[in-house]
Amino acid sequence: MRRVWIGLCTLPLLAAGAEAAPPVKPVETTDRFDAAPWWMERAVLPQTGYAETEVEANRATFAARFKGTGKTASEAQRQAVAQAETLISALRQRPAEAVRVRTDFAVQAFYEQYRDKDGRQIANVRGDKIQGYDATLTLRVEVRDMAVLEPIYALVLAAAPPQVDRVAFALQPDNALRDRLRNEATRDAAARAQGAVKATGSTLGGIRLIDPSGRACRADILGRRPDANADLALTGQRVEYKGPPQMVSGPSSPPPPLYQLEARAAENAFIQTPPLYRVQVQTCVVYDLK
C-alpha cells in the first residue's frame, strides 16, 4: 500500500482486492435544538402579549379540633362528637355552594405509667396496660363565599373548640377571569407587534397562530434554555392575615344550644380580610411579515 499526499492530508490507497476498512461511526451528540415549527416556513413575527390584574381571594379554609377522653375508644369518640354536634348542625344549614364541611377522627391510647428505680416516669406500651383513649374530632371548613367567612369563623369560635387553626386563603380563578385576561393579552400582543414593525420598517401580515398558553413564542429553535410556562400564573398574596391565637378550653362544659351558639357568634365576630393575588396571563400571536 502506498500513500499519495494531497495538501496536508494523507489518504491511503488500497491495492486491488484489498478489503475496505469499516466505516467510522459518527460520535453521537445531544441535540439541544427543537425542530423549526410549521409556522416558520416563511418570515413571521412571534409576539407575546401580557395581561395582569389583582384579584381578591375566593377560598378560605381552616380547621377546628374537639377532644374527648374515655375508657374505651367509642366513649372517647362520643365525647368529642357531643362537643361538636351543635356546631356541625349549624354549619350544615348553610348552602353547600357557600360552605363545605368535612370531619375526620384520630384515636390514640394512653397507658398506665410507673417509675423506675431511678425515679424516672415511664409509660407502658403493653396492650393490657391501656388506661384509656384520647379521640380528636377535626372539623375542616372550606368557605367559598367570602361574604359569610366572618360569621362562619365566629360561629366556630363560639363553640369553644380546644384548638382552631388560622385561616388559609387561596384564589381559584374562574373562566370569566381567564377569558378576560386572555383577551387583554391578545390585544397587548397586537399593539406590541405594530410597534415592532413600525420600528423596523416592516409590514405586518395576517395572523398565523394564536396560542393562549404562550408556549409557541418560546420554541427552543435557538438552543436557549426553555422557561417554565403556565396558562395562568398566580404570584404570592399581597396581604398577609394573622389569625387569632389558638383557643384553649376544657371539654368539661356541655355544648351550648344552637340559638346560644348563634348569639355568641354575633357578639364575637372576627374581621377576616381576604388577601389580593396578582394574576398574570401570556398569549402568543404569530404574525406574517411582508
- Residue 192: pLDDT band (50, 70, 90) is very high
Which amino acid would we find at residue 94? R
φ and ψ of 129, to 5 deg: -110, 20
- Per the rule left: phi > 0, alpha: psi between -120 and 50, beta: everything else, 7 is left
pTM, whole model, 2 decimals? 0.65
Instruction: Note the pLDDT of residue 130.
Output: 81
Contact 282, 50 (CB under 8 A): yes
Fold of the CATH domain 38-55+174-233+280-289: Translation Initiation Factor IF3 (3.30.110)
Fold of the CATH domain 59-170+240-272: Alpha-Beta Plaits (3.30.70)
- List, for residues 124-163, the tens digit of each pLDDT value: 666 667 888 999 999 999 999 999 998 899 899 888 899 9
Give me the residue spans of the domains in the chain. 38-55+174-233+280-289, 59-170+240-272
